A = this chain, B = another copy of it.
Amino acid sequence: MKKILLTVLLTALPALAWGGDELPTPLNNAAAINLVQEHANYLWTLVAATLVFFMQAGFAMVEAGFTRAKNSVNIMMKNLMDFSMGSIAFYTIGFGLMFGATNTGWFGTSDFFLSGWSPDGDPWVLAFWMFQCVFAATAATIVSGAMAERTKFTSYLIYSLFLCAFIYPIFGSWAWGSLLNGSGWLEKLGFIDFAGSTVVHSVGGWAALAGAIVLGPRIGKYGPKGEVRAIPGHNIPIAALGVFILWMGWFGFNPGSTTTADKSIAMIFVNTNMSAAAGAILAMITSWAMFKKPDVGMSLNGALAGLVGITAGCANVGPLSSIIIGAIAGVLVVISVVTIDRMHIDDPVGAVSVHGVCGAWGTLAAGLFNMGGTTIKIISTQLIGIGAAFIWAFGVAFILFKVIDLTVGLRVSEKEEMEGLDIGEHGANAYHDFVTTK
């Protein structure tokens, strides 16, 4: 630690870009200015990555809080492991498929194992990788919620690896292109998805939908006459903490997607905040109108709906548009949760509605509310991207879950589900000293 420190302290006029003998000139000063700006870019990209990383804790708290105490250990393990395994999968395979310098037009074919970096080379690829890695893991963790309380742990690990290694990065390459050459087909069409309403959230949400369908509902969720029964969450304070953590993390997710420390991040911050606020308020009002009381689960999901909704357009719509986008997302998420439940698709935390549906809405909204004006072409491109994400993510994930189901098996036994996955899968009790009702 010390050597670097002394360099800072002892050099009254340190030579940033010119040598000791060289005098400062406009030209080497210009190089030094660019170097300082680059340092700011590294700083911002990596601080933003830190905030996005922390979203893993937010997802873990939301998912555990909204489900039953007897499955909490399993949820912690899934969230820990999808990030850990996802990091390794994105390092070995995913990043290369998504951003590889050479590519087939459909995915990259180089830069696996971070091979584009060498100790003497430009370290920017490492900063960029770090930011992209926490994004990939976010997509994976979304699925966890929709499949909570009944999925085999081993099967979850397989799926999670596959999403970070293949499903997410291949779609990502279509929309965000490759790092060093060319770009994906959606990008070339002009598809707008600044921070990933579609690339991250819808991809995660539609995979979650496939998982929830293949798994089937939790025991007791739907009555003998098909009536929908509520299975309440067990810890609302930690669920709310999770939402606050996610909201904070989104201040890395959206403005960090600039990967540049410039003035444009200010509007992205404001947009992100306004949409989340409007989403929470409108979801509360909608739930109040539908259920006669302001519902905490819906209000919390409303904030997330607003955040997902503004993710695509955060850099190309204004603050007032952001309020409208978030407000509509807040209404949409309540309607979607109720509708999906009536279709007997059991999504314990509302992940499909929050990430899939509001991700699609946000992607469309990025075209509709574009500050520079909108056109049929813009809208149709957005719709193509939305459709491509659904077909790809739902389709491939559906096949994947079916294959897992037919081989290792996707779902735990009925006995284990009743007892809780904590005992069956992990031999543990999340709340050992408390008397619980089941």
Chain A residues with a Cβ under 8 A of chain B: 1-2, 4-5, 7-9, 13-14, 16, 18, 23-27, 29-34, 36-44, 46-47, 49-51, 53-54, 56-57, 60-61, 64, 68-70, 72-73, 75-77, 79-81, 83-85, 87-88, 91, 113-114, 117, 119, 123-124, 126-130, 133, 153, 176-177, 179-180, 183, 187, 194-195, 232-241, 243-245, 247-248, 251-252, 255, 257-267, 269-270, 273-274, 276-278, 280-281, 284, 291-297, 299-300, 303, 318-320, 323, 371, 425-438
What are the residues of chain B within 8 A of A13 when measuring CB–CB? Answer: 30-31, 34
CA of A303 to CA of B77, assembled, Å: 12
What are the residues of chain B within 8 A of A41 when measuring CB–CB? Answer: 8
Contact B236 A72 (CB under 8 A): yes
Contact A79 B240 (CB under 8 A): yes
Known A236-B76, A429-B232; judge A319-B39 contact (CB<8 A).
no
What are the residues of chain B within 8 A of A8 when measuring CB–CB? Answer: 38, 41, 124, 259-260
CA of A429 to CA of B278, assembled, Å: 25
What are the residues of chain B within 8 A of A30 when measuring CB–CB? Answer: 13, 18, 24, 29, 32
CB nearest neighbor in B for A371: B119
CA of A85 to CA of B323, assembled, Å: 12
Contact A123 B243 (CB under 8 A): no
Residue among A133, A233, A269 with the most chain B CB within 10 A? A269
Interchain Cβ contacts under 8 Å between A and B, 12 examples: A1-B194, A23-B27, A24-B29, A43-B43, A43-B44, A46-B265, A60-B240, A60-B241, A80-B280, A80-B299, A80-B300, A293-B426
Contact B234 A46 (CB under 8 A): no
Give me 14 other A-B pairs in contact (C-beta within 8 A), A1-B194, A123-B264, A431-B434 excluded.
A2-B187, A5-B260, A8-B260, A14-B34, A29-B29, A29-B30, A54-B245, A80-B300, A84-B278, A85-B277, A117-B319, A130-B269, A234-B434, A435-B435
